[in-house]
Amino acid sequence: MKKTIRVIIALMLVFTVLAVLTACGVIGQGGQTTTEAGTTERQTRNTTSEEPETTTEALTSPLTTEAPASTTTAPVTEAPTTTEEATTEIQTEAVTTEPEVDPRRDIPLGMATLDDLSENWSDFEMLVEGNIYKLPMSYEEFASYGWQLNEEGELRPHQYSLVRAKKDGATVTLRMINFSINNLPYDKCLVGGINIENYASTSGWPMDSVTIYLPGGIQYGVSGVDDIKSAYGEPSSEYEGSLYLNLTYKFDTYQEIDLYVYYESGVLEEIDMQNFVTPAGFDKGSASDVVPNTVLEYEKPSSLDEDLLSYQFMLEGEYYSVPIPIRELLAKGWSIEAERSADVVSAHDFDYVYLRNGNQSFRAMIHNNADYATIPENCWISRLYLISPSSNDSGIAGNWAIPRGITPGMAQAALEAALQGVTYEKEETDYGIYYGVYETEYTHIDYVYIEVDADDKTVRTVEINKRLE
């Protein structure tokens, strides 16, 4: 009984205290404490109303113990503040969740549809697993779709090579092409062509494992000959193989699509597309004025050899051999006529310049044997013409000679005497008499060619041609 009375008295005291506190405003409705700290917290959050929506959403509950399901922010264990540091962190997190976008279209990767694909086969596009492949394309773009080259290599300017690429067990064959003026590794070149075949081995991409569309709704592994001709018209050419019918649609040289419909299945089982054109705005790179080591290492002979195939000559008392660095002539008073000469020569390529020395001028083919594009001054002349003062040909006139004492204006009889023991081919025309001395009997590539005037029977021109190694 005494215990019961004590409990009743205790409860009456508690209710009395609560009534007093409520009357004084210490306890508000809903049981929330309205401390000064709590008021400051709400005021601080209200100042963030101009922040991005993601920031506001992330801060909707001051006492959240985990992030809302609709956001990707990490769980918080105490009320976050709205400092600049916190805002930046949340914004950065939001950016990283945005889907990657096709570099040439404003379409998220893997989200392209037939509506995004061209209707014309001559646009050289295909829709592959929700991505538009448009040739030519950079390897960087191609790799963004998950592909990786099977091998490494390098291409010279204007060269292309067949290179395989793989992805998730599938293999395609690419035509990597270099439109730059410098040597480039495969992964810096363009994908100018692609071949897709229905092979289950490491050399193909089975048609039942992928969805590929060409313009006009033509589908790999589904469309037949009638479908293709209905969409594209009659092909440029047809070839009936033992296993397939090959339909070729050709736009221009190196711009075509070959479609292979196999007799057994009656559907398209191979696509071979190539489009070798330089893209608009393509950056071909820049030339270097660094002198190639091979040019710096050139050594002039100290005298003339007896062998005509030493490709040596004497000019104004100086001895040279072909191929000759163009800078050797520039050092002797010749200059390049810039207005009608090439200003850059691609790596391992050739071009033309005009050289002038006083009243003499001639056109020369020059070669660059460096792995990078360079200026004409760093190139070589591999074909040189030495002419007599009476010649109307383009070349270098003056005091010159070649092995065996052959000089301009030399009589034909003296020339033939000098050629004793030399194997040569002789040809007579109404214009002149020609003596050809060749490196090999069957390939007239490297040679010394001597021309005698048909009228006065004297040496008029000597042509020295030696390929640059």
Q: What is the pLDDT of residue 102?
A: 59
Does pLDDT of 73 surpass 80?
Answer: no
Mean pLDDT of 26-53: 36
CA distance 298 to 379: 12
- Calculate the average pLDDT of the chain: 82
Q: What is the pLDDT of residue 156?
A: 96
pLDDT tens string 171-223: 999 999 999 999 999 999 999 999 999 986 667 899 989 999 999 999 999 99
pLDDT tens string 268-280: 999 999 999 999 9
Does pLDDT of 132 surpass 90?
Answer: yes
Does pLDDT of 103 surpass 90?
Answer: no
CB 100, CB 92: distance < 8 Å: no
Determine if residue 409 is left, alpha or beta; phi over 0 gives left, psi from -120 to 50 gives alpha, anything else beta. left
Mean pLDDT of 11-30: 45
Using 50, 70 and 90 to split pLDDT, how confident is the model at 328?
A: very high
437 token code pair: 């001395």
Does pLDDT of 431 surpass 70?
Answer: yes
- Of 158, 157, 149, nearest in space to 186 by CA: 149
Using 50, 70 and 90 to split pLDDT, how confident is the model at 441?
A: confident
Using 50, 70 and 90 to split pLDDT, how confident is the model at 291?
A: very high
Does pLDDT of 70 surpass 60?
Answer: no
CB 221, CB 234: distance < 8 Å: no
Answer with the residue of higher pLDDT: 188 or 68: 188
Q: What is the largest CA-CA distance in the chain?
A: 155
Q: What is the pLDDT of residue 201?
A: 61
Q: What is the pLDDT of residue 171?
A: 94
459 token code pair: 């040496």
46 token code pair: 């209200």
CA distance 227 to 129: 21
